[in-house]
Amino acid sequence: NRALTDDILYGIGSVSKIYTTAAVMQLAEAGRLSLDASVTRYLKNFKMADPRYKQITVRMLLNHSSGLMGSHFESAMLFGDDDSVAVDSLLEQLSTQRLKADPGAYSVYCNDGFTLAELVVEAVTGMEFMDYVRTRILKPAGLENTFAPGDTFDTGRLAKTYRGADTRALPQDCLNLVGTGGIYATASDLAAFGGALIGTKLLRQSSLNAMAAPEYDRGIWPDTDAPDALRYGLGWDAVEWLPFSQSGIQALVKGGDTLRYHAGLVVIPEYHMAAAVLSSGGASTYNEMTAAQMLAAALKARGVVLDESLPLLPEAAPAAMPAELTENAGYYGSTAAQYRVDVTDDGTLTMRVLTMPSVPAQAFTYCDDGTFRDTTGQAALRFVK
């Protein structure tokens, strides 16, 4: 029963990873760490039950290519509890784990990498992570409405969240892995942080360029004319994003979700623009798309009209499928879903989302460029070993 004004705070979830990335890049600029040095140089207690862990570099933490299993969230996503035990227990948890891939082989979203990066910042500086963020990022950028769960601030400023139709507000939504997803901010403070990553207020241009480089292209993914769904930079979820990329404009994008909060940040360096959308419902993808539409309208007001036509894949025609591809039928997993894939001799691939049974099965047809295409010409799958 109150208006949601710009004084209201929201959890920004994984957009917090950009603050962590900025902190790491500042330390790299100062010569206090190297992006391509092993994490073990800075975290002496970091050990795993897989000798390949010694090959994990700081860069791999920021571009999701470390090979770590993914997300250690024990006691991390809580209501009304800002306990930091989740960060404290990560190294113990990792000590018994193996890697799912060679470090640097490919990028798959990995929360644990950013919690390790948070620990690297603390180890190198001797400061608590948020103390460093406040001193070296928030204060220089003039951000006075950005906090972490353990900070002292008026928690009544947080947007209320609810469960279903229950009219009782839930306790404070705490994501206690701050460097991974725990920061709160107002929409203006988050947008201003995005703006600070356009000029050189926080980082040198060389560091900003490094964050915006196509890190996702370092891995095993095959060369192809088709756009890749994985477009990680350092920290950023995507460094190429529709509809801007169709018009030759780079957009940097990061989304974030907590138990009840959702966030999207989109930055367009060329035009010195940034937009942030925060909500206490929905999903970060909606926030990102809303921010994109805001920026598209702002560009149009400047006389820059984007090509917003639906993109099509490079031309390909149905073809006879190599028989051995049927061996790839089975179960697959992504960050948020599990899939059942069937491949038949006639070149039809059928994919079902097991975690979302209400989603209809999707059918794809084998084509002469080695992809399986849907009927719209907008989606293609390829098997990569």
Per-residue pLDDT of 16-49, as tens digits, reads: 999 999 999 999 999 999 999 999 999 999 999 9
CA-nearest of 203, 255, 28, 213 to 125 is 28
Residue 136 DSSP code: I
First to last CA, the chain: 54
Q: Check residue 363 and give its pLDDT.
A: 97
CA-nearest of 156, 167, 182 to 8 is 156
- Is residue 186 within 8 Å of residue 344, measured between CB atoms? no
Structure tokens at 304: 């820059």
Cα–Cα–Cα angle for 123, 128, 130, nearest 5°? 125
76-107: burial string, b at 16+ Cβ within 10 Å, e else: bbbeeebebebbeebbeebeeeebebebbbbb
Q: Which residue has the tokens 């930079």?
A: 233
CA distance 238 to 229: 9
Which residues, in sequence order, are bridge partners of residue 365?
A: 348, 373
Residue scoring higher pLDDT (258 or 310): 258
**Average predicted confidence (pLDDT) for the chain:** 93
3-class secondary-structure state, position 276: strand
**Mean local confidence (pLDDT), 196-205:** 95
pTM of the predicted protein model? 0.91
Which uninterrupted H or E stretch holds 373? strand 372-373
pLDDT band at 139 (very low <50, low <70, confident <90, very high): very high
Q: How far is CA 348 from CA 16, 342, 364, 365, in A?
A: 41, 8, 6, 5
pLDDT for 45-102, tens place per residue?
999 999 999 999 999 999 999 999 988 888 888 888 888 777 878 999 999 999 999 9
Q: Check residue 223 and give its pLDDT.
A: 67
Q: How far is CA 289 from CA 243, 293, 306, 311, in A?
A: 10, 6, 14, 16
pLDDT exceeds cutoff 60 at 226: no
